[in-house]
Structure 1
Amino acid sequence: MLWVQSAYTGDLFMTAARTATIDRKTAETDISLTLNLDGTGTAEIATGVGFFDHMLTLFAKHGLFDLTVRADGDTHVDDHHTVEDVGICLGQALRQAVGDKQGITRYGSMTLPMEETLVTSAVDLSGRFWFVDAYEFPTEKIGQFDTQLVEVFWQAMAANALMNLHLLLHHGRNSHHIAEGFFKATARALRVAITVDPRQQGVPSSKGTL
């Protein structure tokens, strides 16, 4: 159990620790990932893909998640398997850590500016998967990173978290800014969605389950 401060009232209340550790090993990747939803934004990331490490660090910082990722992948082929499998692990960790969803806000959204770029990320921790990516990158690469892998990552994460995730680019010209905007905005949207509201009795659904 730990003490959590309500984002709405400022009151302190106790809740179960919301953490998860995922280990996944295949012929293509070997990944160990630990997620604490009620952290301080501490990140220890080593995937072998520099730009991706940067994005995951931003994700942890803006979500106030403590996130540790160690990945050994076949990056001599390309970065696809590593990025996708980390997305799978992070989605599984989110699903486990959020638990039975008693008292959570469930929905979150953030419209976020990043220099000339404006993006929106909207999430629903519904227990059902849907992913919409309404954007195009102006370049195929960000340094050595393939911009198609942004979609690969978020689709894998949303599918394994069993959440709705909508990513919308309003405008933007710089591929780095667009990608960074989506990682920051989704982190902040999830930060709202996982918040425990002491006024919420049970799960936030008329069905009684999520």
Structure 2
Amino acid sequence: MSRTARIERITNETKVVVELDLDGTGKAEIGTGVGFFDHMLNQIARHGGYDLTVRTIGDLEIDAHHTIEDTALALGAAFDSALGDKAGIRRYGSATVPMDEVLVRAAIDLSGRPYVVHDEPATLAPYIFGNAGPVYPTSLTRHVWESFGQAARLTMHVTVLREGRPGAQPDAHHVVEAQFKAVSRALREATSIDPRNSGAVPSTKGVL
């Protein structure tokens, strides 16, 4: 059975198209107009092993908020749609990922119950700059996970275990990127097919 989805989200502020294949090879075509966010979405495709296309046109003349939020909502909806009734999946996934001095843990349950817990240092620099275009506010990372988790209907805990060397200012790029990589690896495990599950929905309820 094909585990793919195509989601369009159109508002007065943005137009988003997301195409997702859960059983892909990590290919990505990403364009949101926010360079750093594109870089992060590429991590989801590469480290999740998904084929992912994202095309977003947003009101970047205001700022990046609407573009990032609506893209995260559409991406979450694509995961929810591609998973279907979730029969045969592992359901749970976790990963602890280092990125130089940073260490992040992500744990995911494709439970059908949206709940996101996010812990990162409050001392991050206020902005990360992409290669070009609008800045990516580090304060939006939590909103990305909350928006994605709500639309994907999953439970997710993302925790920055180590933010940097003692006494040093955290490198905001590393802190955020390590989160995206950890979430990607946790998603990869949770969405994968469990060969021992015989195609059953992994819940005593019979539904997720």
Q: TM-score, normalised by structure 1?
A: 0.91
List 4+ stretches of structure 1 deviating above 3 A.
Answer: none
Separation (CA, whole Å) in 2 of partners of 1:136 and 1:116: 14
| Aligned-partner residue type, residue 189 of structure 1 | A
Query: How is 1:42-61 mapped onto 2 (pairs within 5 angstroms)?
Result: 42-61=27-46
Q: Tell me which amino acid in the other structure corresponds to 2:115.
A: W
Aligned to 1:208: 206
Distance 1:187 1:44 in 2: 16
Matches of 1:179 and 1:116, distance apart in 2: 12
Greater CA deviation, 124-133 or 147-156? 147-156
1:176 aligns with 2:173: yes
- The answer to whether the aligner puts 1:165 opposite 2:156 as a matched pair is yes
> Any stretches of 5+ residues in structure 2 without a counterpart?
130-134, 164-169
1-side partners of 2:18 and 2:160: how far apart?
29
> Which residue of structure 2 lines up, in the alignment, with residue 142 of structure 1?
128
What is the deviation of 1:58? 1.2
**In the alignment, what sits opposite 2:142?**
151
Q: Does 1:87 align with 2:84?
A: no
Asked if residue 132 in structure 1 is aligned to residue 130 in structure 2, the reply is: no
| Deviation readout 1:182-201 (Å, 9 max, x if unpaired) | 11111110100011112114
Tell me, yes or no, if structure 1 residue 196 matches structure 2 residue 182.
Answer: no
Residue 27 of structure 1: which of 6, 9, 12 is its match?
12
Q: What per-residue deviation string (whole Å, max 9, x for no partner) do you get for residues 84-120 of structure 1?
A: 0001000000000011111100000000000100000
Aligned to 1:103, the other structure's residue is in SS state: coil
Q: How many residues align?
A: 195
Alpha-carbon distance in 2 for matches of 1:145, 1:92: 22
Q: Deviations over 1:2-44 (max 9, x none)?
A: xxxxxxxxxxxxxx11000001111000111100000000000
* Cα distance in structure 1, aligned partners of 2:79 and 2:111: 13
* Percent identity over paired residues: 49
Matched AA of 1:93: A
Q: Which amino acid aligns with 2:40?
A: M
SS at match of 2:103: strand
Secondary structure of 1:23's counterpart equals: strand
Equivalent in the alignment of 1:40: 25
Amino acid aligned to 1:171? R
- Structure 1's unaligned 5+ residue stretches are 1-15
SS in 2 for 1:39: coil
Alignment correspondent of 1:4: none
SS at 1:123's partner residue?
strand
Compute the TM-score of the two structures, normalised by the length of structure 2: 0.92
Task: Report SS of the residue matched to 2:188.
Answer: helix
Find the aligned partners of 1:75 and 1:154 in 2 and give their Cα distance.
21
Letter in 1 for 2:203: S
> By how many angstroms is 1:149 displaced?
1.2
1:161-199 per-position Cα deviation (integer Å, ceiling 9, x unaligned): 000010001111211001100111111101000111121
* AA partner of residue 162 (structure 1): R
1:127 Cα deviation from its structure 2 partner? 0.4
Q: Quick check: 89-98 or 137-146, which moved more?
A: 137-146
